[in-house]
Amino acid sequence: YKKNHITNVIFRIDFPTISTLTKSDQLDIFQKKIKIYPKRNEIRGGFIEYKMTDSDLEVNRKESRMSWEFLNKGASRKLVVDPNFIVIEYFKYKNFKSFYSEINSIIKSFNESFPLSTINRIGLRYINIINVKTGNPVDWSDLINKNLYLTTSDFIEDKSKLIKNLQLIEYKETDYHIRFTAGMFNSEYPNPITRKEFVLDYDCFYEGEIPATEVMPKVKIFNKTINKWFENSIEDGLRQIMNGDA
């Protein structure tokens, strides 16, 4: 399509704790390899574990932790590095080819500084927010698959009082899951819906130990699945808008 409605693309991998990640010299080497993310910020946080006693809750373990946020020059992309995970988020997305190439390069560079053998979780998420400037804000005929807003059409009599209509679908493929959220999320909530907005949020993820070498092939599978679900979610009217024909 000539244009898209993608507001966020999020890639994440989780892995066993990397204790050497706190070494600033190694982080410096890693940052030099990812030149398009020149800005680095420290994110300080903590973890508290409680245990139940006969009479009360007591702190069992307290742990401070440090993460790092890397930003590109225009702050349109963000990379978060933590001893247990990496998150790469795009706020302006063009196409899968360039996105795939970049995350592949980042993972390779990270692996050179902090070798990864196994991954505990892989996730890829696309958030689409469709905004249409004209028309009834609760009428999505010829734009969105009617099964994604059918309850509004058949169940609600006075649609002018509707303030939100979302549905969550969770689906299991052979070895991974899809969590799909769709509907009129209403950016002006809790006021009644007056803007014509519809969210299509696709989250594909694999949970379980997997060799690090299998991360990128999984990303391709997830992207193919999400693309299929997206095409099933929309109608020709929206396709025409995205191709600049309407």
pLDDT tens digits in sequence order for the chain, 246 residues long: 999 999 999 999 999 999 888 777 888 899 999 999 999 999 887 666 666 666 667 766 666 778 999 999 999 999 999 999 999 999 999 999 999 999 999 999 999 999 999 999 999 999 999 999 999 999 999 999 999 987 665 677 788 888 999 999 999 999 999 999 999 999 999 999 999 999 999 999 999 999 999 999 999 999 999 999 999 999 999 999 999 886
Q: Report the Cα 84 to chain-centroid distance in Å.
A: 17
Helices (H), the chain: 24-33, 96-113, 150-155, 215-233, 236-242
Residue among 186, 188, 174, 180 nearest 221 (CA):
174
This prediction has a pTM of 0.90
Helices (H), 12-149: 24-33, 96-113
